[in-house]
Chains A and B, each alone.
Chain A
Amino acid sequence: MKITKKEVEYVADLACMEISEEEKEIFTRQLDSILSYMEKLNQLDTKDIEPTSHVLQTDNVFREDKVKPSLPQDEALANAPDKKNGFFRVPRVIEEN
């Protein structure tokens, strides 16, 4: 096995995902088969090949440093579950010291 159920739980936790016991089994099996395939690719000799940095064979696509209009405040906040005085309001993230 390339991946354990414990690692699947860890990754799900980092991604803030709640998954059922049944899903843990399924994902472990599926991820294992993906990783096994990657292992197969690893058998290729890529010693003299430059790593691909991007699938597009281009670089330096720039925009000029020009200000464009932003969203009005009420539109920026339109989808917020909670807001106050122009701010997004979220559950407190820092504990009192």
Chain B
Amino acid sequence: MRYESVIGLEIHAQLLTQSKLFCGCSTRFGSAPNTQTCPVCLGFPGVLPVFNRQVAELALKTALALHSDVPPFSLFARKNYFYPDLPKAYQISQYELPFARGGFIEIDLEKGGRKRICLTRIHLEEDAGKLIHGDGPDSVASFVDFNRTGVPLLEIVTEPDIRSPQEAKQFLQNLKAILTYLKVCDGNMEEGSLRCDANVSVRPCGQKTFGVKTEIKNMNSFRNVQKALEYEIDRQITMIEGGEDVIQETRLWDADKCLSFSMRTKEEAHDYRYFPEPDLIPVRIDGAWIEQTGRSLPELPEAKKSRLVKEYGISSYNAQVLTSSSDMADYFEECCRIIDKPQMVSNWIMVELLRELNRDNLDIASSPIKAKDLADMLKMMDDGLISGKIAKTVFTKMYKTGKKAAQIVQEENLTQITDQSELEKTIDNIIRENPGPVSDYREGKKKTLGFLIGQVMKASHGKANPELVNRILIKKLEDRQ
């Protein structure tokens, strides 16, 4: 029997604020444990939360970019449960009146065409603390760090519209691109500032009702989301084919072992008894605010991609890669302002630069070669000052040392030899030293020309202008016939 999978995602995006959602503690990542807390986020009695205006601004940007409806006002609610990472024993979240409803993201399908993944809702909530489970003599204990408690999160919930792990990955990549273009979230899945949980079920193709779903957590990279979903779909199909029932449960993905396991916790209650948060008043977003924020939205990935294809004549694939972050698109456009050869620029970025950056796990924003420096080097190549081969050498040195191309070329004497008399001397030597290939050429074996050009290039340490070598060599070989 053939099965199809039904997937819905819940994404938590940490909003890029300086301070927490309801207090002035810093949101900085990686500080010593419990050094970014105060009576408000530690849930001491008698304290009151005060809403961070920037959170509303960032949430509104996101909602508008995702085509969601922003109702006139939204309310906070308490989600009540006991867990050591939650000092108040309730999480301030939104329930009946979320920040936004609806919306969608479009993805490109592998088989071609596009698909719209609809969103159910977008709401605000505070993050919980970080739990570390002890081992050895501490295996009976868990350790709590409340630095993250109260950090603003935007929860984005999709409809069960996703039909494959590949679609899920594509959705997440597009969402991440939008969030980072908007500068509302840094999109770092490894550090947990973008987190994804998935609800997964399978059903025989053609069946209308959904199968029993499981929830998968702890997938901290795009690749892991795809792998964890593939694993879960296989697991469920194997169970059904073996006559077993899929149990509704939460499972944790283990990226090292490449498998998921059932999450068993000692707190089993799932009755959250939501009620309106009496300590907070409604957040009202009026038409003027929406209009003002709407005007401030930057060009988003899809629009930028179409514009790059149209304006620079590059392929849709290249445009997709170059718009995966706004920094990369900016880099490309800055280069093109200096050297108007978009195809050449995109090839150098995508092949040479990304290879180095990916190897060193660097963002283009922290590239040792700045856009202007790459463009200047490409211009030297385009003007014939250095050969294509030398350009690659110069590029590698620029990347390693951060020096500019002109300096490297000068220091290492790499300027292309375009001086005809100097080249003629070298070519005469090569003709003298290679009587065999020379006579072969003169007897009609034109293929030996490549060998002779290679010898000249070698003798000039790659600095000879290949076109000039080609012309002079042919002339000399044919003249003596």
Contacts and interface: CB of A to CB of B under 8 A. Distances in A.
A86 B32 contact: yes
B294 interface: no
Interface residues on A, range: 35 or more
Residue in A69, A84, A89 with the greatest tally of chain B CB atoms within 10 Å:
A89
Interface in A54-97: 54-56, 58-73, 76-77, 82, 84-97
A87 B33 contact: yes
A90 B142 contact: yes
Contacts of B37: 70-71, 76
Given A53-B282, A62-B52, A65-B19, A95 B25 contact: no
Contacts of A38: none
Contacts of B56: 62
Interface in A18-54: 53-54
Contact of A97 (B19, B38, B55, B261): B261
B12 to A, nearest CB: 19
B281 A63 contact: no
Contacts of A1: none
A90 B129 CA distance: 13
Contact of B282 (A59, A69, A73, A84): A59
A88 B52 CA distance: 27
Contacts of A55: 278
Contact of B132 (A61, A62, A87): A87
A70 B278 contact: no
Interface stretch (B102-110, B262-270, B308-316, B328-336): B262-270
A92 to B, nearest CB: 5
B278 A93 contact: no
Contacts of A54: 75, 276, 278, 280-282
Nearest to B273: A14
Contact of A70 (B17, B36, B139, B269): B36
Nearest to B16: A65
B263 A59 contact: no
A62 B57 CA distance: 11
A87 B265 contact: no
Contacts of B263: 94
A61 B132 CA distance: 36
Interface string B244-283: 0000000000000000011111110101010010101111
B281 A76 contact: no
B26 interface: yes
A63 B51 contact: yes
A53 B140 contact: no
Contact of B25 (A67, A72, A90, A94): A67
Task: Describe A's contact surface by its main secondary structure.
Answer: loop
B34 interface: yes
A90 B141 contact: yes
B53 interface: yes
Nearest to A60: B284
B141 A73 contact: no
Interface stretch (B143-151, B381-389, B418-426): B143-151
Contacts of B212: none
Contacts of B280: 54
Given A70-B37, A84-B143, A88-B144, A95 B281 contact: no
B18 A59 contact: no
Contacts of B50: 61-63
A70 B25 contact: yes
A63 B131 CA distance: 29
B139 A92 contact: yes
A82 B140 CA distance: 13
B266 A93 contact: yes
Contact of A92 (B19, B142, B145): B142
Contacts of A68: 19, 23-25, 38
Given A62-B52, A63-B51, A65-B18, A70 B35 contact: yes
The 9 closest A-B pairs by CB, nearest first: A68-B24, A62-B53, A87-B143, A65-B54, A88-B144, A86-B33, A90-B84, A59-B284, A63-B50
Interface of B: 17-19, 23-26, 32-39, 42, 50-56, 73, 75, 80, 82-84, 97, 131-134, 138-146, 261-267, 269, 271, 273, 276, 278, 280-284
20 contacts: A14-B269, A54-B281, A63-B24, A63-B51, A64-B52, A65-B18, A65-B52, A68-B25, A70-B25, A71-B37, A86-B33, A87-B143, A87-B145, A88-B146, A89-B144, A92-B134, A93-B265, A94-B133, A94-B265, A95-B265
Given A70-B25, A93-B84, A96-B139, 10 more contacts: A14-B80, A62-B50, A62-B51, A62-B56, A65-B19, A67-B18, A76-B146, A77-B34, A82-B141, A87-B132
Interface of A: 13-14, 16, 53-56, 58-73, 76-77, 82, 84-97
